[in-house]
Structure 1
Amino acid sequence: MTRGNRLRERSLRPLNAPASPVASVHQPNDRLSGSITTRSPRCVALYPDGNVRWAARHGLSAMEGHLAGSEVAIQRVLDACELGIEQLSLFGFSSDNMKRSSAEVASVMQIVATQFDRGVELLDRSGIRLQVVGSRSGLPQLMLDAVDRIEAATAHHSRMQLFVALNYGGRQELLEAAQRYNGGGEEVFRRLLCAPEMRELDLVIRTGGEQRLSNGYLWQSAYSELVFDDELWPDFTRERLEMALADFGQRVRTLGRAHRRLG
């Protein structure tokens, strides 16, 4: 069973205190058992929680909090690509979030659509392919148009795959797949999910201090390592991301079996 780990600014540092916080993700660590080699996860999910609380803390509106969070999301996506992550899943706006006030939902959709259009050039330059995961039913037309544009513009890239969950719920994904499933095993079932190309997640990082998956990637998180960071999403820096990757590198993943090497 995977375990959560709460990051704290003053307590968590990569072992051996390397000059760059991510160094210990890639390099063996003398303080670990000789049977373990540290490495970076290939498939990571980010649950960017805390935009509204951050806004309230700074005397701003919820919309301003979501806007600040969207700016951070762009930067962390580019950081993840630079750090060698192959697949990044961003839990953007869930089907449960769609039940918020119509004004807040409309604001978020406008912000995301705008950032998609703005992000085409950035993703294209970085070799990142973007794919939206979730139900398109209920999304406004401006969002659907923005999704079509950015998916088409980045479809040929392969340096990193970026999945963005919009109007997505893990239970609904499993229910819809189960309704179409006629047998054949896990691999056949996996192909019926929203994004069959999404591999099982090595690491799930949630900001904002809450310790739950909130109906997120349920199938893909079966054996994920979990990191819960107290920072609200707009305050989640590249250093915090690197620290989470370093924390993953210190763990032994058993996957229900005997200890397994990470390297």
Structure 2
Amino acid sequence: MSKAPNADAAPRHVAVIMDGNGRWAQRRGRPRLFGHQAGARRVREIVEACPECGVEYLTIFAFSTENWKRTQEEVAGLMSLFRLYITREARALRENNVRVRFIGDRPGLDRKLRELMDQLETMTAHCDGTNLTIALNYGGRDEVARATRRLAQDVADGKLKPEDVGEETLPRYLDTCLLPDPDLVIRTSGEARISNFLLWQSAYAEYEFIDTLWPDFTAAEFTRLTQGFGRRDRRFGAVPA
């Protein structure tokens, strides 16, 4: 159904491809990990801006299945940063009533990080404010492949008939099965590609590709983009009457 523009409408779910940390650091003559550290600090500001913007769900792309191709030093530094972020931010997230979920291929991560992820999800499970989802070791194609395997197993086990599999079936097997589809996807750093992020879920999302590098992305810019969402004419394949 076509949805006419509504300047007051806020996106319920915003997904962000946080790009540009490495370039931000290099422009300052610093190592790439310095940029990732700055980017991690920026996350808190954006999470705290969500309630005022009317955003209920925020999903951030922290580490992709393709990021393992980076240098061993950078990957190790990122994994250490993720462990540190969870440890340092856990109390603030709970106090700010933020519920945290992780999506992605968890078995590919080290045991200590997985334990911290589980602890943070349990610690914030009762929170009913902003829903923060962190995509860690995540790839859209990998997610669909894993979901399809689980669906196929249910068909093989007789729990599901092949003729009953439709467009609404696969989402129940995705990592995001408990989340609404994103309304708005933001990518920072000037790159105009989706990089294997939420491929199924973003079929009808609105996109914003902006030049700002992630460590410079402020709550004010986030607010401006979410406010602009309401002026979009979302037709979902239909035409105005």
Please give the TM-score of this superposition, normalised by the length of structure 2: 0.89
Q: How does 1:179-190 map to 2 (within 5 A)?
A: 179-181=149-151, 182=155, 183=162, 184-190=165-171
Task: Find the aligned partners of 2:90 and 2:150 in 1 and give their Cα distance.
Answer: 34
8 Å contact 1:116–1:146 — kept in the other structure? yes
Query: Partner residue of 2:196?
Result: 215
Shift of 1:158: 1.6
Query: Partner residue of 1:25?
Result: none
140-149 or 40-49, larger mean C-alpha shift? 140-149
Alignment equivalent of 1:176, drawn from 146, 164, 167: 146
Shift of 1:259: 4.1
Task: Find the aligned partners of 2:94 and 2:45 in 1 and give their Cα distance.
Answer: 14
Whose helix fraction is larger, Structure 1's or Structure 2's?
2
Task: Report whether the alignment pairs 1:191 with 2:161.
Answer: no
Query: Partner residue of 2:159?
Result: none
Query: Partner residue of 2:215?
Result: 234
Task: Find the aligned partners of 1:71 and 1:111 in 2 and give their Cα distance.
Answer: 11
Deviations 1:90-133 (A, max 9, x none): 01110111221121111111111111111111111111110110
Task: Find the aligned partners of 2:33 and 2:240 in 1 and give their Cα distance.
Answer: 46
Shift of 1:138: 2.3
Task: Report whether the alignment pairs 1:154 with 2:124.
Answer: yes
Deviations 1:147-168 (A, max 9, x none): 1221111011121211100000
Task: Report whether the alignment pairs 1:141 with 2:121.
Answer: no
Query: Partner residue of 2:81?
Result: 111
242-251 or 85-94, larger mean C-alpha shift? 242-251
Shift of 1:258: 2.2
8 Å contact 2:53–2:226 — kept in the other structure? no
Q: What's the C-alpha RMSD, in Å, of the aligned pairs?
A: 1.4
Alignment equivalent of 2:21, drawn from 38, 44, 51: 51
8 Å contact 1:133–1:195 — kept in the other structure? yes
8 Å contact 1:253–1:259 — kept in the other structure? no
Aligned residue type for 1:256: G
SS in 2 for 1:222: coil
Show structure 1 runs of 5+ residues with no match: 1-34
SS in 1 for 2:131: strand
SS in 2 for 1:114: helix
Shift of 1:198: 1.7
Task: Find the aligned partners of 1:126 and 1:259 in 2 and give their Cα distance.
Answer: 41
Query: Partner residue of 2:184?
Result: 203
SS in 1 for 2:42: helix
Aligned residue type for 1:173: E
Alignment equivalent of 1:90, drawn from 55, 60, 71: 60
65-74 or 138-147, larger mean C-alpha shift? 138-147
Task: Find the aligned partners of 1:241 and 1:225 in 2 and give their Cα distance.
Answer: 14
Percent of aligned pairs with the same residue? 40
8 Å contact 1:252–1:259 — kept in the other structure? no
Aligned residue type for 1:251: R
Show structure 2 runs of 5+ residues with no match: 156-161
SS in 2 for 1:191: helix
8 Å contact 1:88–1:163 — kept in the other structure? yes
Deviations 1:189-209 (A, max 9, x none): 111001211211100000000
Query: Partner residue of 1:36?
Result: 5
Query: Partner residue of 1:72?
Result: 42
